[in-house]
């Protein structure tokens, strides 16, 4: 019974953290007048969940602590997140527009084939963007290095990529079925699920469940490339 109570409290704390991050995401995006506040809020959300994940010994975060970690990450990543986020966002917006244009116009057989290709391209690119932010907050490297590493990760970590995609689809289904969840949790759930997938299957140095929470305490972790960030 005590184990059930501990697990239930742990789950409630995670839900509370997600709600706080979602609120912080909205507030900080508005603080940056949306245009320059959105991508730092994305980076801060990823950074907050990374900090929570790697602090294995202390994940019982309070509301104040969650907000503080988010706010510090938002200020720290304000410039760099916009530098990386805007090119990624504009490219994705262009791909989405092209898919809409092809679907909204009767282009015959060629149009149907093009639409199918664009759907796949959008899915792969969306997966790449999701993983890019996870790599971005884990390594203190240039945006170009982050993008190259993220692209290789999409291919080299198929289980991680599949899990991110499945969790995103599940999140969209849940939000569509229960719209209240989207209001309460917003972007926090897909970002958190992405970080959980990367933590479990991404094998990133500094954020690897097999090293931070090993089943065999005598196992040694693998070294990886890239300057890993310290948690703050």
DSSP state of 179: H
Any domain includes 33: yes
Any domain includes 19: yes
Q: What percent of the chain is predicted at pLDDT more than 90?
A: 80
203: left (phi over 0), alpha (psi -120 to 50) or beta: left
pLDDT exceeds 90 at position 229: no
Any domain includes 82: yes
What's the domain count of the chain? 1
pLDDT, tens digit, 9 for 90 and up, residues 30-80: 999 999 999 999 999 999 999 999 999 989 899 999 999 999 999 999 999
- Report CA dihedral (42, 52, 162, 181) to the nearest 10 degrees: -60
Any domain includes 232: no
**pLDDT at position 109:** 82
Confidence band, pLDDT 50/70/90 cuts, at residue 108: confident
Any domain includes 221: no
pLDDT, tens digit, 9 for 90 and up, residues 3-25: 888 888 999 999 999 999 999 99
DSSP 3-state of 187: coil
- Dmax (CA) of the chain: 63
* Domain around 57: 2-212
Any domain includes 229: no
**pLDDT at position 232:** 41
Residue 171 to residue 186: CA distance in whole angstroms: 10
Looking at residues 92-100, what average pLDDT do you find? Answer: 94
Any domain includes 188: yes
Looking at residues 93-101, what average pLDDT do you find? Answer: 93
Nearest by Cα to 144 from 201, 63, 88: 88
DSSP 3-state of 29: helix
Any domain includes 231: no
């Amino acid at each position: 019974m005590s184990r059930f109570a501990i697990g239930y409290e742990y789950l409630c704390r995670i839900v509370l953290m997600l709600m706080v991050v979602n609120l912080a995401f909205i507030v900080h995006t508005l603080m940056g007048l949306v245009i320059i506040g959105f991508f730092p809020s994305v980076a801060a959300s990823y950074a907050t969940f990374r900090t929570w994940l790697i602090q294995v010994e202390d994940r019982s975060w309070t509301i104040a602590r969650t907000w503080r970690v988010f706010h510090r990450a938002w200020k720290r990543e304000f410039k760099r997140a916009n530098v990386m986020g805007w090119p990624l966002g504009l490219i994705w917006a262009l791909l989405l527009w092209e898919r809409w244009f092809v679907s909204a116009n009767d282009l015959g057989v060629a149009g149907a084939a093009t639409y199918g290709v664009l759907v796949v391209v959008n899915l792969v690119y969306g997966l790449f963007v999701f993983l890019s932010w996870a790599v971005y907050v884990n390594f203190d490297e240039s945006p170009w290095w982050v993008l190259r590493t993220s692209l290789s990760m999409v291919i080299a970590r198929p289980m991680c990529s599949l899990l991110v995609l499945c969790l995103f689809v599940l999140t969209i289904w849940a939000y569509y079925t229960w719209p209240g969840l989207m209001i309460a949790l917003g972007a926090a759930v897909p970002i958190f699920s992405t970080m959980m997938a990367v933590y479990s299957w991404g094998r990133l140095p500094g954020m690897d469940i097999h090293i931070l929470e090993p089943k065999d305490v005598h196992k040694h972790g693998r070294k990886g490339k890239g300057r890993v960030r310290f948690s703050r």
